[in-house]
Amino acid sequence: MWYLLASLAGGAVGFMLGLTGGGGSLVAVPLLVYGLGLVPQDAVAFSLLAVGTTAAVGMLGRSRAGEVCWKSGLTFALAGMWGAPGGVWLAHLLSAKVLLVVYAGLMVAVAARIGLRAAHEVTGADPSLLAGGANTLASQPWPVARLALLGLGTGVLSGLFGVGGGVIIVPALVLVAGLPIRQAIGTSLLVIALVSLSGVTAHLIAGDSLHWRLLAWFTLGGVLGMQGGTQLGRYLSGPTLQKTFAVLILTVAGFMLLREL
């Protein structure tokens, strides 16, 4: 039963990763803490490895479909890999309760941002979010520096909360690198895989535990769920994806705040 629950939880995470390019990582830690009973710091390390592995598998499929921009992705990822150990250090300064409450606050902020962006897409106020248009990498002032700074911040968040950072990566790749939304999602998976590797390494050095058998079942569920999310995402519009994602993470954040406060 324990490993069936791990597979189902991993499936939910993988499904959201395939659907949105980052949503799964936000729900991973709550599922691990409240569903599988891990302590938050171990759950963060566990989440990074499971999400990173799942993202890597999904990225390979998207790459074959031409939905990965390697130049922008590697720029973002290399900076993020430097930031992840800093996030791990911060995670060990916080108590479990504080870490979870701050995590829930991050989820609320992300949901609000995504909801506003989806509304702009529907009204046509920000069409660049659906396609690259004039927002090409070459037309942006200092695009590489911007991507690197955002990558550094994403790495810190990944190490601190165990999130892949797709909720930051996808908008950044659209607005700064000028990628269409589906290519941004594919490139986000590349970034998540590399930044997660750095974060996991830092957590292991810090002495956090990984439950390897549980991790295997969770990751297997994640890889299978990723396929379903990717296929469904091809039939949904950008605004619909974002609204679905925002409602999901608001629901999970509300549950966490009720439990902790």
Q: Give the range of the structural domain holding residue 58, as residue numbers without chain letter.
A: 2-260
For residue 179, pLDDT over 80 is answered with yes
Q: What pLDDT is stored for residue 22 in this prediction? A: 59
Confidence grade of residue 81 (pLDDT, cut at 50, 70, 90) = very high
Overall average pLDDT of the 82-111 stretch = 85
Closest alpha carbon to 246 in 64, 79, 117: 117
3-class secondary structure, 126: coil
For residues 8 and 20, give the distance between their C-alpha atoms in angstroms, rounded to a whole number: 18
Tokens of 87: 């996030």
Confidence grade of residue 127 (pLDDT, cut at 50, 70, 90) = very low
For residues 102 and 87, give the distance between their C-alpha atoms in angstroms, rounded to a whole number: 13
For residue 3, pLDDT over 50 is answered with yes
Q: How far is CA 257 from CA 100, 108, 250, in A?
A: 8, 10, 11
Mean pLDDT comparison of 45-49, 69-73, 109-113, 159-163, highest-scoring range: 69-73
Among 5-14, 25-34, 160-169, 241-250, the minimum mean pLDDT is found in: 160-169
Q: What pLDDT is stored for residue 132 in this prediction? A: 41
Confidence grade of residue 124 (pLDDT, cut at 50, 70, 90) = very low
Question: Per residue in 40-62, pLDDT tens?
Answer: 878 888 888 887 887 888 899 88
For residues 207 and 13, give the distance between their C-alpha atoms in angstroms, rounded to a whole number: 25
Mean pLDDT score of the chain: 79
For residue 78, pLDDT over 90 is answered with yes
SS3 content of the chain, % helix, strand, coil (to 5): 80, 0, 20
Q: What pLDDT is stored for residue 134 in this prediction? A: 37
Q: What is the DSSP letter of 139?
A: G
Overall average pLDDT of the 201-214 stretch = 83
More confident residue, 166 or 5: 5
Domain total of the chain: 1
Overall average pLDDT of the 129-138 stretch = 40
For residue 130, pLDDT over 60 is answered with no
